[in-house]
Amino acid sequence: MLSKRTLFVLLLASILGASLQAELKLEYQDYKKFTDLDFIDRSQKTGLKIFNKEVGRLKSLNELAANKGSLLIRFKDVDMAGEILPVGRSFEEARQITSARPPKLKFDYAFIDADGSVSQQGSETLLSLDFQYTLKRASSSSPFFYELTLLDEWAKSF
């Protein structure tokens, strides 16, 4: 028969093990200074929430976290493809996608083992100057299609 202390240690270990399952964690370093995370008729804070939700659902990042331990990504800058410009006679604003304004992401990342130690870390700047020609065709309704594609290709390179 196991002692109460042994049972407690086993219970605690199982709880900690469950809470240390591989996960994807996203953080943002001073998002208000990001180059371009703006939406028409939406605040930058709303843009950040949408970006966070869509990146968090990216299958390749979640699979990478599951295979290599928990993955922490700390974004330092987001520069969406294109830019918001006035268009038409009424000068309504719309995001115009041109090769002059490619998507660009700057972030630090770390893989964290179950025991809490960092197994691998680094910094990345993802940029695709010819994104309109080499990235998958924009068939998504996501406003972050090009940025998500950059992250997807980065995750698959591991």
13 assigned to some structural domain: no
Separation between Cα atoms, residue 143 and residue 78, nearest integer Å: 13
Cα(95)–Cα(74) distance, rounded to whole angstroms? Answer: 26
The total number of structural domains in the chain stands at 1
Residue 124 belongs to what domain range? 22-156
Q: Quote the mean pLDDT of the chain.
A: 80
Task: Establish if 15 belongs to a structural domain.
Answer: no
User: pLDDT tens for residues 88-133?
Assistant: 676 666 677 777 789 999 999 999 988 889 999 999 999 988 877 7
pTM of the model as a whole: 0.77
Handedness of CA 91, 97, 99, 102 (dihedral sign): positive
| Residue whose entry in the numeric block shows the structure tokens 């090769």 | 99
Cα 132 to Cα 73: distance, rounded to the nearest angstrom: 26
In a domain, 92, yes or no: yes
Contacts of 121 (CB under 8 A, 6+ apart): 108, 109, 110, 111
pLDDT digits (tens, 9 = 90+) for 69-90: 899 999 999 998 887 776 667 6
